[in-house]
Amino acid sequence: MSYEGLDIDLLNLGDADSILVTRWQYSIPTRILIDGGNSSDSQKVLDFLHRLGAGYLHHIVCSHPHDDHAAGLIGLVNSNQIDFGEAWLHMPQNHINFSALQWALSSTCTRMVRKIIEDPLATQRELEYAIRRRNKIIREPFYGQKIGFMVVCGPTEQFYEEQLAQFADLETLVELEEALLQYQSRIDREEYQQRYGIFAPTYLATEDIGLGEAPTEPENETSTVLGFSYNGHTYLLTADAGVQALTQVRNFFNLQELAWMQIPHHGSRRNVNEDLIQYFKPKVAYVSAAGNNKHPRRKVVNAFKKTGTQVYSTHYQGSEGGHLWHHRGTVPTRTGYGSAVALYDAGLE
């Protein structure tokens, strides 16, 4: 039998991402791995690839250097169980004055923002070194570039540099810290009410948060967004991209009424709004999430369902090991997989 089709695998890693997309042509697979979950997920990803017989990956993409996406790639790249062609990774040192960045960080007391910036930089450097030890090519994924059968929909290099520049500006760092602290206060209020079933103290009181209203970290906004077409239908992988990034992507590409879409940032309410959901209006949407109060947000799931989208999550029932497998055309059969169950039919909020 000749294989001519498409596989999309969302691995069940809780609130972490690792996605394998395979395009079959004349029974030959082209495999692209996007992210590798947390460092503790490396072996789980390697075991999954081994079961598929996927010993070679044509491309490895690090969408952005947060640990729940990038740290698992370090162990994978360091492993002799896998080989790969090109690696795609943003290199912030090519786009920002690190002396100015270090000065800004050392001159501010914004502890939350400092951690948000410094931890991903350390992960990015470690991943970069691991790739270089394998003597592999590193390319930066910017708008319009081709990664196998995929195209980079965002970010543009200009947008990426604009987001990075925020880290070297003292005033912006303080504003971001304040916005994040306010958002954390809102989260504390919700958790207080859910735990005790009563109203939160006044110091935690705040109004409800709408979709896309809370702050999205610049590193999430610089996530690599990937798109591709199969059999006349469009597919979109969003990583942790936020409203700014997805709005720019929408302005560059015709992405209306998608066949399949990854819901960004594990279903967080910070990363999409009603307008974007109505525009993308995917027939099917997948999300990798732990299934807690935050991920995926009921409000996000309901907003997609309101447009007629079938929403599936790795935390829900129906897939082997919790992994979600979307396939089209003729692809190799698998054992242990059943029909995934769409997420709850909840009352619209």
DSSP string, 199-232: PPPGGG--PPPPTT-S---HHHHTPPEEEEEETT
Residue of higher predicted confidence among 172 and 331: 331
DSSP code at position 321: G
Nearest residue to 340 via CA among 3, 10, 115, 70: 10
> Under a CB-based contact definition with an 8 Å cutoff, are residues 271 and 262 in contact?
no
Query: Is pLDDT of 193 > 80?
Result: no
The C-alpha atoms of residue 107 and residue 288 are separated, in whole angstroms, by 37
pTM, two decimals, is: 0.89
Query: Is pLDDT of 104 > 50?
Result: yes
Predicted pLDDT at 203: 39
> Under a CB-based contact definition with an 8 Å cutoff, are residues 152 and 37 in contact?
no
Q: How confident is the model at residue 207 (pLDDT cuts 50, 70, 90)?
A: very low
> Under a CB-based contact definition with an 8 Å cutoff, are residues 307 and 279 in contact?
no
Query: Is pLDDT of 205 > 50?
Result: no
**Mean pLDDT across 324-336:** 94
Average pLDDT along the chain: 87
Stretch among 49-63, 225-239, 267-281, 286-300 having the lowest mean pLDDT: 286-300
Residue of higher predicted confidence among 343 and 16: 16
Q: How confident is the model at residue 108 (pLDDT cuts 50, 70, 90)?
A: low
Strand 225-230 and strand 260-262: the pairing is unpaired
Please report which helix (H) or strand (E) contains residue 61, including its range.
strand 56-61
Query: Is pLDDT of 318 > 60?
Result: no
Residue showing tokens 């690696």 = 87
- The domain 4-330 having CATH identifier 3.60.15.10: the answer here is yes
Helices in the chain by DSSP H: which ranges?
42-52, 67-78, 98-106, 111-133, 157-165, 170-196, 218-221, 243-252, 274-280, 298-306
The C-alpha atoms of residue 341 and residue 333 are separated, in whole angstroms, by 19
DSSP code at position 45: H
Predicted pLDDT at 68: 97
Predicted pLDDT at 67: 96
